[in-house]
Every structure is written in structure tokens, then in C-alpha cells.
Structure 1
């Protein structure tokens, strides 16, 4: 049993990346491998946020059956809740395991008979990850699930309602990782900004306690909702350990579309919030869905004009993808794919130009954590979440550098040391 090789294939978000690290840390009687053609067991940590994500997972599983037919495929992640039953019944996978089972992975992988162990949607991890395989930044999952019911989203159905991890478990994990040399911590979860609402605490209180741990140099936060940014949180924006980048999920800038999407934010207050944070010197990112049913030309023209008013520097833009079993899936009128594609291009080009101007204005005092490198070129992110490539004769992997001179191109920032 001890020499069986396990390969992890991770799809989707940072929360899934963290969950894979949890599973890796729990393997006691198996060997990790980076080659799925040589593995005995393949754990697919799946994403189900769109129908396309489901297709990617299915295609990968089919490819394994061709290139490594003897491997046992285990389905984990969000797809286990939405598509696990069908894949199990069709014998496409050896086993299915839900989120709540990942801490038992060592025992689960020993099973000799096919299994379907979906668990429950109320589970909270207690695992403390002390190392991140091949990483210089540490992802810390602080909560699970979501209480929002946006019309296009299936995630609450596969991740459950919002529930926070214990504060002491989070802080203990950060203490151990900081002692192991990690300086940057990225807080992740399904709906990060809801942290603490079930424990009579808050994101701001957690951040203050994190900042007091020796070795913590920079803290980044995953995606926040506009209504989750309160006065207590705003007071932390001047702290030196806060990464100067916030990702605030707007999803759209048309109030009509926000209503159709069952969102809790509206543009006037979003605009005011963004300008207030930008005045503190922050880069600002957002999520944005184009081509959602109901987004006619008039709505789009209003929406893109409003994007121009926002001090945006980053965007995760998505062309709407119908997701079965969501309210949006039956909405009309649908937007043609070629129109959505053009709107996606227009939006990303606009924000890319805004990002270039921001980088032109922020060329000095860049604190960069370099992650990896080859042939003397090292890459990492500065405090504004902009990628920087650094040329150096010495090995700078996992090192911090302070740059006061960078070459700003349309694609990235570059420097020589």
C-alpha cells in the first residue's frame, strides 16, 4: 500500500487549491506524483461553477481512461455534489467524495470497493496546513459556503450556506506557516467577506489578529461583496501589512441587470465605495458577467459607460454560461454568443488600459514576492497585484525584493537586479 502513487488534478478557484493542499497534507501511506500517466490513483478536485467547468472535468476524466486506463479516478470538489452521482453510475469514476470527507482521504484511498461518500454541506475543516507544496504564498481558507442567492450561481447548492472556520484554527495555521518562512497570506473561501457573522466576529477583527503574528508581512483578501466593506474594515486600509489591492465583486454596472441577477449592490453606492478606496492608493479588481439574459444593447451601453467611471485596475470577466438548476437558466431574452464575446473583449480591453495607466503612476516602492523562475527570470506579484518579471543572476525564488525602477509595458512590469 505504501508505494501507491497519487496525482491531484485541481480545477477552479483558490478554495479548491486550498482543499487540495488539505488532502495532500492528510496522505500518510501514499506517494505524491506530478505525472498522471504514472499514478495509481488520480484525485480530481472538480469545479462546477459553469456547464463548461463540468465539461472540462468530464473531458479530463475521459483522457485519463485513454492514457492511464488502470488508474482509479476519485471525484472530489464541487462537481461531486452536482455530477458525482451520474459519473459514478456510468462507472466513469471509481469513487466520489464530498467536501466533508477530504480530511479522511488517507482511509478513503485505501478502499478496494467502489464508493460514493458525499458527506454533508455543513462541515468545516479543522486541518492545519503547515506547508504548501511548491508555493511561496500561503492560501488560508477562512470560511465555506454562501448565503447570497444570485440568480446565475449554483455554488450555494454545492458548498452550502456560509459558515466560518474557528478563529483560533486560522491563527494557529498562520503561526505555523509564518514559522516555516511564509510571509504572504491570501484569505480564501466561497464568500470571504461573510467571515465571522456566525461567530460574533468579523473579517476586520481577524485581520488585526493575523497582523500581530511574527513573520506576517502581507495579507491579501479574496473576493469581497460591496456590502461587506464596513467602517471597521475601512479603518485597516492604511495598515502597512494590507496588500494594496482589493477584489470587490460587482458583477455588473447596470442597476437593471443587478436586479435581474438578484444582486445586493447598486452602481451609485459601488462608485462611491470604489473612489473612497482608490483614494487610499489601492488597485481595485472586480468580477463581471457579460451576456446575461436581459442585457440588451441599451443596458450594455449604459453599463460600459459606467465602467469608465470606476477606478478599476483588474477584472475577472466572464461571458454568461447557462448553469442548469439556476434561476438565470430559464430567463429570456438570451444574448447571442458572438455579442457576449464582443462585450467581453470591449470590457477587458478597457480595464487593461486602466491597469496600464495605474502601473505608469505606481512605478516606485514596489514590494514583490518572487515565486518562481527559470533562466534568470523570476516572476511574482507586487502589492497592487500586478505581475513583475525580474532578471537576476542569483536565485531569487521565494524572496522579497523592493523595486524603485521598473520598465512598464502594456503587458507587465519588468526590472533588472
Structure 2
């Protein structure tokens, strides 16, 4: 009988994709959706807020008390991995660049701590999304913005884009397996193709031409990433009529302290225009 592995995914859609990648790499283990039946628990962690860190620590401690073998990965591996490892709370810690080796890592009998590097480009192609009706497509990794409050560039690295051919192959395979709705995800998806002759708008156009693709949804965008070419695709029927655009604040003084790139006056014009085009809009604000 194979050892049973349970995946606990915290945080963003990027982590959902990464968990699926790891699931497909497990050859010598059985995946279970029953937490209690698992022998090993993989915690794909989030560290974007103190609350996220606290939730991960609490979950790890609870699983250890229940006698589970716990492995930690995700963003929290870079911020809390060492302390949890030294405290004996987890059997192993591994970074994002190491997840493709998960089958071999789980076969180890000794404890391990391998964060890897933050420069890798994830060219993983998955065939399915277990328990999901929509497919998540990771198009980039990392963020080169340096907002003063944000730790993400230090745990995900600078922005780098996944090769377009890999992304389109991913969509083609998933569409062939019955998925019609696709959610583009990444650390900062609007930075896709930066410094290259490609961008998120041209990528979506190519995706829409693949047979079986009915709808494309987007993760969070930055206001400064809404380009003229992006505005051209707003009329396309395959684009979900909802956009999440991160503002974080409207005060000029606070935006400067946050080291943000957006400006309130321009944000207001953008939101007004998008609303008039019939888009439902979501955003984030930091209020304390």
C-alpha cells in the first residue's frame, strides 16, 4: 500500500496551480482528499500577511500533534521555514524551485531544508485540476515592484515570464480535457512579457483561438498595467466582465510612502471608464 499524501493549500491562485504541479509529480504516493487518512501533509503556505503566517503555523502545529509527517513549501518556506524546521515542527522544507522534485523529496528518510533559488522559470504543464471546474494557468512568477509594505518579491523573486509556447500548450491540453474556463494567474500577471515583444493582451488573444476556450478570467492587475492594447480586448466576448485592480490607497501621501506607482486621479478615470463599459470591479485597500 502506498503512502497517502494530503495537500493543504493556503493563499493565492498561484499556489493552487503549484499544488496541482506537485500532485502530478507524485509517482510513488497516493493523493488523498481526506486529511485524517493522510500519512504526509504538504503545506503550500502563504506569507502575504501576519494572519496568513499565523494560520500556517497553527495548521502545522495541529497536524504534528495528530502524528502527521508535515512538509512545508510555498512563500512561507522562506519566512517561517527555518524556525519551524529548527523547532522540529516539519520534516522537510522546500522552496518553489524544488517542487518538481517532490516525489524524491518525500522518499527521503532524513529531514531536509532546501529553499532552492528565486530565479527559476516554471515550465510545468499540467493535464488536469483535481476537484476544479476551472483551470488555473500560471503565466509568470515574481514581482519587480518594490512596494514598501510587501514581502512577496523577497519570497517569489523578480518578475519573469513563462514562455508563451508553454502557456499555449497548457491551455490546449486542458481544453482537450474538457476545461472551457481559464484563470490567468501569477504573482503580478500584468508584468507578463515585460522587456519582451509580448504582453498579456496578445497572450489572451492567442488563447481565445484555441478550440474549447470559452472564457478567460484574470487575476489581479496593477492600474499602471492597463495599456491601450489591453483596452482593445475589453470588447471581446470571451473576457470575463470582472476585473480586480489593486489600488491599495487613494491618498497621494500614502501612495508615496507605499512606493506605489499609481496615482489617484488616473485611477479614478480608469475605474470610471471600465464601469461605463459594464465591468464589475474589485480592488484592495490597506487601511491600517
The alignment's TM-score, normalised by the length of structure 1, stands at 0.68
Unaligned runs of at least 5 residues, structure 1? 292-417
The runs of at least 4 consecutive aligned structure 1 residues that moved more than 6 Å come to none
| Aligned equivalent of 2:80 | 83
| Aligned equivalent of 2:162 | 165
1:137 aligns with 2:138: no
1:58 aligns with 2:57: yes
Residue 160 (structure 1) shift: 0.3
| Aligned equivalent of 2:252 | 255
- Where is the helix percentage greater, Structure 1 or Structure 2? 2
Unaligned runs of at least 5 residues, structure 2? none
Residue 234 (structure 1) shift: 0.4
* 2:284 aligned counterpart, secondary structure: strand
* 1:181 equivalent among 178, 193, 196: 178
CA contact (8 A) 1:164 1:198 kept: no
1:196 aligns with 2:222: no
1:230 aligns with 2:230: no
* 1:278 equivalent among 275, 279, 284: 275
Alignment RMSD:
1.0
1:44 aligns with 2:37: no
| In structure 1, distance between residues paired with 2:89 and 2:181 | 39
| In structure 2, distance between residues paired with 1:138 and 1:198 | 27
Residue 200 (structure 1) shift: 2.6
Residue 37 (structure 1) shift: 2.2
The structure whose RCO (Cα within 8 Å, separation 6+) is larger is 2
Q: Which has the larger radius of gyration?
A: 1
CA contact (8 A) 1:163 1:198 kept: no
Residue 243 (structure 1) shift: 0.6
CA contact (8 A) 1:103 1:125 kept: no
| In structure 1, distance between residues paired with 2:152 and 2:37 | 33
| In structure 2, distance between residues paired with 1:59 and 1:245 | 34
* 2:172 aligned counterpart, secondary structure: helix
| Aligned equivalent of 2:287 | 290
* 2:69 equivalent among 64, 69, 72: 72
| In structure 1, distance between residues paired with 2:267 and 2:149 | 20
1:207 aligns with 2:219: no
The alignment's TM-score, normalised by the length of structure 2, stands at 0.98
The more displaced of 121-130 and 170-179 is 121-130
| In structure 1, distance between residues paired with 2:126 and 2:196 | 22
| In structure 1, distance between residues paired with 2:160 and 2:197 | 12
- Where is the strand percentage greater, Structure 1 or Structure 2? 1
